[in-house]
Amino acid sequence: MILGKVCGKSTTNKFSFEVIDNARKFEYVQAMHRDGFFILAQIVEIERTISSTLAYCNVIGFRDKEHVLKGISFPLDPGVEVLFAEDEFVQSTLSLGASKNGAFIGVLDGRENIKVHLDINRMITKHVSILAKSGSGKSFLCSVLVEELLESKIPVVVIDPHAEYSSLKRPNTKDKEKLKELGLEPKDYSKYIQEYTPDVRVNSNATQLKLSISNISSSTLLHLLPAKLSNMQTGL
């Protein structure tokens, strides 16, 4: 589907096109580069006037013969057709395809047919951080990743001061219908999860967590103390 043609200023990172068909913000598009390959881009803003509608895009790049994601070294030519990006092209360029070591975390926003997988081997051998504003779903994403690790029989230790992950032990019945639409079934991980707590009054189903002072060295004890100690106190 042709959405428009490149117009105005074009760089190796950005370009704009005049919309001649239905285009939406955050939609993925593709365009033919002068070097003979399609590049993937995303619409980041749409501007409408009385006479025309312009869509502004950020260039994501293309996959070379070694399947390495690269940017373009020369801008798109004016007049080049901008197309609705096919699901297969988006999935290949963003490297979202399922793999033997892939952790399924959901579908790509706006593309229900594109499932997003993360490489588990890379995830557990590198540092990973999830950054977003409050309420955006960081804890939920973490729980999804923990589920995928459990599916792969990988041991996980969760330090959970806010008791956000206790629900992993029970099947998700709230989103049962939505899971069915994705071809998924609620999972029960109660056999694989053991909870510990320093206060069983808070969670009666958890095992009492105790620290034996005989197994704590003096240096470890110093690190546990909240205040900065003087030399005299450290010596004691």
pLDDT of amino acid 60: 96
SS3 of residue 44 by DSSP: strand
Higher pLDDT, 101 or 27: 27
Asked if 33 and 40 touch (Cβ cutoff 8 Å), the reply is no
Question: Is pLDDT above 80 for 185?
Answer: no
Round to whole Å and give the CA distance between 115 and 117. Answer: 7
The count of C-alpha atoms lying within 13 angstroms of the C-alpha of 88, restricted to the half-sphere facing its C-beta, is: 0
pLDDT digit string, tens, across residues 132-175 = 998 888 888 888 888 888 888 888 998 888 878 877 877 777 76
Residue 143 DSSP code: H
Higher pLDDT, 55 or 209: 55
CA-based nearest residue to 55, from 43, 65, 63: 43
Are β-strands 196-197 and 207-208 bridged in parallel, bridged antiparallel, or unpaired? parallel
Bridge partners (DSSP) of residue 14 are 58
Round to whole Å and give the CA distance between 59 and 177. Answer: 36
Bridge partners (DSSP) of residue 208 are 197
pLDDT digit string, tens, across residues 60-110 = 999 988 889 999 999 999 999 999 999 999 999 998 876 666 788 888 888
pLDDT of amino acid 100: 61
Confidence of residue 40 (pLDDT cuts 50, 70, 90): very high
Confidence of residue 121 (pLDDT cuts 50, 70, 90): confident
